[in-house]
Amino acid sequence: MEIDKLSILGWREWAALPKLGVKQIRCKVDTGARTSALHAFYIEEFTQDSINMVRFGLHPIQGNTDKEIHCEAEVFDRRDVTDSGGHTETRYVIKTDVVLGKSIWPIEMTLTNRDTMRFRMLLGRTAMTDYFLVDSAGSHLMGKPASKPTALPVLNYLHDEGEEE
């Protein structure tokens, strides 16, 4: 895509995850993280109609454990992810739609406990590739997630081995 046609994100944005019932969540836009990550304070694997699924709990508001959203999603993969501190963890990977501003598109997202982190969600660089540029000084440049977003074209990238966050 031509660079002058890309939308610009700030270092933090408001997002929605409609398939998971999340109307609004603050996310850190993290070009250093390959894959996006979502906070899950518990994760349970189960099978439904011969499909591997996960059920997980999410605290969508930073510093507030009273508000809980319980989600279910199909397991897309399990991957070893190395965080910025050098710790490796095997994580569930799900595919879900994300809404930023007026746009919606599918992304891969790992599930991990982010209770000690400032943001409940990271938007990694694979989710942004060919769609956005990042203004590291800007915040919430896309505004609140639209209730009727427009789908971005689906891009298929090969998954890199050895995920890093």
Burial class (CB in 10 A: 0-12, 13-18, 19+), 55: middle
Residue 165 banded pLDDT, cuts 50, 70, 90: low
Which one is predicted more confidently, 39 or 1?
A: 39
Contact partners, residue 108, CB within 8 Å, separation at least 6: 35, 36, 76, 77, 93, 94, 95, 126, 127, 159
C-alpha atoms less than 13 angstroms from C-alpha of 139 in its C-beta half-sphere: 1
Q: Does residue 91 have a pLDDT over 60?
A: yes
Q: What are the distances in angstroms from CA 77 to CA 52, 63, 161?
A: 10, 29, 12
What is the per-residue pLDDT across 148-159, written as a single tens digit (0 to 9) for each?
999 988 765 544
Cβ pair 113, 39 in contact under 8 A: yes
Q: Does residue 160 have a pLDDT over 90?
A: no
Q: Which domains does the chain have, with CATH numbers?
A: 3-37+77-153 (2.40.70.10)
Residue 83 banded pLDDT, cuts 50, 70, 90: confident
Which pLDDT does position 77 carry in this prediction? 97
Which pLDDT does position 1 carry in this prediction? 57
Q: How many residues does the chain have?
A: 165
Query: Count of CB atoms within 10 A of residue 79's CB?
Result: 19
Residue 125, amino acid = R
Which pLDDT does position 63 carry in this prediction? 85
pTM: 0.89
For the chain, percent of residues with pLDDT exceeding 90: 76
